[in-house]
A and B are shown apart, each in its own frame.
Chain A
């Protein structure tokens, strides 16, 4: 428990120290030539793609689990 508390305190202190680092000077960056509309479409596409991939993966796993569960229940009931 002591070791965990020490590790947790170190992690949080390191996190705070990292956050306190001087911010990047943005004046050296040039303006983005790509249109805002394209960036908007890409952002929404990537966001929904990530969500769809997660939902799809979860749904497939759910179907596999339900089938496995049904087979096991049948086996327990002595069905062929």
Chain B
């Protein structure tokens, strides 16, 4: 078995630097550039990171879903590592969305949670990603890997349903982006920078987890090599 090439940290550190700078810029814009909403007040500022995290969650989980499907059809260590990293990154953004959302909802809707389409579907996506991560943690290879990949492949359709939920089924979620909800330049720029910051942070986390998965695979290869060497040595020793 050929070991994977050594990992180069330069690109990763550059990505981390960009993500950190963008997050600092986004936080500054949220605090000082974006005006408080005329109706909802200051609590509306949750929007910038909440929506950006939701988009990052859908992109990561959809990518993880498609990569899992590829891994299911043509198993590959590299694709598996990419898919697993994408699902785990998507999961952390799902947690961010479902913790920041209820805090905003409490002020704007008067309820922490309602069983409306987009919320219900997001909860289902979170549970799906949790199940996939849990299965992989308990059974990293073999059947566990196949079951997890099959389950993960369902994430992309659910993410699509989340995207179209408000148009298809209505519900209490507002259509802020398509409905022209943010009109002031300050709010628009803040949202753009927050989106960039969250995307770069998602890319950083994804790369970090991917590198880690590859390292684990390399470690496993080395352990197998050592075991083979030990067996060879003991066999040679027995012959002489």
Where the two chains meet, the residues of A that have a C-beta atom closer than 8 Å to any C-beta of B are 4, 8, 11-12, 15-16, 18-21, 23-24, 26, 29-32, 34, 36-37, 39-40, 42-44, 46-47, 50-51, 54-55, 58, 61-62, 65-66, 68-69, 72-73, 75-76
* Given A23-B172, A40-B45: A62 and B215 interface contact (C-beta under 8 Å): yes
Which residues of B are found within 8 Å of A32, using beta-carbon distances? 106-107, 110
Residue of A nearest to B125 (CB): A15
* B49 close to A (CB within 8 Å): yes
Please list the residues of chain B having a beta carbon within 8 angstroms of any beta carbon in chain A.
Answer: 40-46, 49-50, 53, 92, 95-96, 99-100, 103-104, 106-107, 109-111, 114-118, 120-121, 124, 150, 153-154, 157-158, 161, 165, 168-172, 201, 205, 208-209, 211-212, 215-216, 218-219, 222-223, 225-226, 229
Set of chain B residues within 8 Å of A18, measured between Cβ atoms: 120-121, 124
CB pair A40 B117 closer than 8 Å: no
Residues of A within 8 A of B172 (CB): 23-24, 26
User: Chain A's nearest CB lies how many Å from the CB of B11?
Assistant: 16
Instruction: Known contacts A11-B154, A21-B120, A31-B110; decide if A39 and B46 are in contact (CB<8 Å).
Output: yes
Q: List, in ascending order, chain B residues with CB within 8 A of A34's CB.
A: 106-107
Q: CA A4 – CA B229 in complex, angstroms? A: 41
Contact in complex: B114, A26 (CB < 8 Å): yes
Closest 10 CB pairs of A and B: A29-B110, A36-B43, A24-B114, A19-B117, A43-B103, A43-B100, A36-B41, A39-B103, A72-B222, A47-B96
